Amino acid sequence: MMIEDGGTFGGGQASGILRLVSSRCTCAECGDEVDEDDEDDLQYVESIDGRVCQACLDRYFTYAHGRHEQAYYREVDCVYCQTDGEWYYNSRRVLDRYDIVECSTDGKYYHIDDCIEVAGRWYLSDDLNIARLDVEYEGEEYARERDTVHTEDGRVIHEDAAAHIEWWDGNTYVLHIDDNPEDYLPEQDMDAANDPDHPINRDALPLAA
């Protein structure tokens, strides 16, 4: 039986001799012992507050930007930034500090300069499914393409800011809700408006008294 420093019991060595194993010589990750002579092979990793052998360090850890500076962290606790090819400790604070964001489309991480924010989510700037709005919508400069419409004069706007206007000429036009239709749509043709036989008015004639 073996009793380690931490007070845990490990089996496997049923020699019947009780001996104290210094944790300084045991890899915190795999539990392998390292001879006193090779103690330098264990590297102290602050993020787990333990010493790790080189094999485990290579396999499970990565050198990443962390809370203070670059240090070793468990790779599963980090994210890989596609923009700069570096690793970042996956915490809100660290990602915010280095402006690293998760792309909603592919789930990968990028520097914020490569991305645009749409309704609280991040997309790559060259994402063809994202359209730049000609009129900001609720403070947003971009929207998903499928949430946009084109106004009569060709502006890209958010569909929720679109007004469908039935105009005097019988056509329905799309404008922004804040637009003054008279600034954009054909002026009313008074001759046509006053001519009951004009095609525009024919269907709208009041019933004869």
Residues that bind Zn ion (CB under 5 A): 27, 29-30, 53, 56
**Residue 112 corresponds to which amino acid?**
I
Name the residue nearer to Zn ion (CB basis): 56 or 116.
56
- Whole-number minimum distance, CB 45 to Zn ion, in Å? 11
- Whole-number minimum distance, CB 32 to Zn ion, in Å? 5
Name the residue nearer to Zn ion (CB basis): 53 or 94.
53
- Whole-number minimum distance, CB 66 to Zn ion, in Å? 21
Name the residue nearer to Zn ion (CB basis): 30 or 204.
30
- C-alpha span between 23 and 44 (Å, rounded): 12
- Whole-number minimum distance, CB 130 to Zn ion, in Å? 45
Name the residue nearer to Zn ion (CB basis): 30 or 177.
30
Q: Extract the tokens encoding 151.
A: 């106004």
Name the residue nearer to Zn ion (CB basis): 26 or 151.
26
- Whole-number minimum distance, CB 42 to Zn ion, in Å? 8
How far does Cα 201 stand from its chain's mean position? 54
